[in-house]
Amino acid sequence: MRGRRLLLFILVSAASLGSQGAGAASAEASLTEIFEAANIAASRGDYRSAVANYEVLVEAGVRDPDVYFNLATAYAQSGDYPRAILSYERSLTVRPGDDKAEENLRAAERALEEKRAEAEGEAMIQRSSSAGEAIYGRFPEDGLAYVLVAANVTLFGCLAWMWIARRRAPWIYTLLAASSIVFVFSAIGLGQKAGIFRDGPRAVALGDHVSLREGPYPQAQIRGQARGGDRGVAVDRDRDFVKLRLVDGLEGWAPASAVGLIDLDESVH
């Protein structure tokens, strides 16, 4: 009797696992088809269709740098430079040091500046660039985490060795100093990547003129304006409004649809 129950349990479990695996495989195939369809549309110059398909992938939870790159390129080709900047930034966040993405990001910024300078005589895009970003820009977040763990093990291993051993060789001091430096470097880098030095996820203004208001409602008084492509930090959220703090310090509530978060999975405080 017990043997039959066990057999039934194994069969049911196997069937359940099999159906889950098949579902996952078909989902992957479907995503691949959407990606290929988007690529074909982009290659034919049908950027609207390409953007729609790439956006479906992003909404489906795909956080792939190549998808962001293609989405950004499709936006750039269709002249929507702020959204192109947003997607290139996302691509670089997932895969730092991607030269082509950096090159395209600068090209999109230049194109937006020139377009605006031609129309208005001068153009200004607020862009955040700190020493931290300059130093750690090309280091992947997970790589820094693993380096931190390795440096941590080495550092405390050296300290323990020095505590236990009666005779201290010169190399142990060298190793201790090196591991301390690497530990500090990777800890600061990880903090930079994790956003502990800023008040919220990084954001980009998407509309040509985005009104920043006193409160999170459409009738609130306007404090100032953000221009498309301006960088900032989303410091708060209230229903359909996001409190955006631009890099020049101007802060106000903007419709969530007019602000794109670079750090897509980072919650607004």
Show contacts with another protein in window 82-111 (CB under 8 A).
84, 104, 107-109, 111
69 vs 241, which CB is nearer to another protein? 69
Among 56, 62, 172, 235, binds another protein (CB under 8 A): 62
96 token code pair: 């730092």
Which C-beta is closer to another protein: that of 42 or that of 234? 42
In whole angstroms, how close is the CB of 7 to another protein at the nearest point?
31
179 near another protein, judged by CB under 8 A:
no
CA distance linking residue 37 with residue 40, whole number of Å: 5
Asked whether 78 and 54 are in contact (CB, 8 A), the reply is: no
Q: Which of positions 237-256 make contact with another protein (CB under 8 A)?
A: 247-249
CB of 71 within 8 A of CB of 51? yes
CB 179 within 8 A of CB 149: no
Q: How many chain residues are in contact with another protein, going by CB under 8 A?
A: 86
User: Considering the complex, what minimum distance in angstroms separates the CB of residue 202 from another protein?
Assistant: 10
Categorise residue 243: left if φ over 0, alpha if ψ from -120 to 50, beta otherwise: beta
Q: Is residue 125 a contact point for another protein (CB under 8 A)? A: yes
* 67 makes contact with another protein (CB under 8 A): yes
Closest CB 124 distance from another protein, rounded Å: 4
| Candidate ranges 13-21, 112-120, 214-222, 251-259; the one touching another protein (CB under 8 A) | 112-120
Residue from 29, 169, 177, 222 binding another protein (CB under 8 A): 29
Q: Which of residues 203-232 bind another protein (CB under 8 A)?
A: none
Torsion 190-194-199-203 (CA) sign: positive
* DSSP state at residue 231: E
Q: Does residue number 268 form part of the binding site for another protein (CB under 8 A)?
A: no
**214: Cβ contacts below 8 Å, ≥ 6 apart:** 220, 221, 222, 223, 252, 253
Measured between alpha carbons, how far is 73 from 51 in angstroms, rounded to an integer?
A: 9
Residue (82 or 216) nearer to another protein, CB: 82
Q: Which is nearer to another protein, 136 or 241 (CB)?
A: 136
Indicate which single residue of 59, 163, 170, 221 sits in contact with another protein (rule: CB under 8 A).
Answer: 163
Q: 224 and 244 in contact (C-beta within 8 Å)?
A: no
Return the residue matching tokens 């998407």: 206
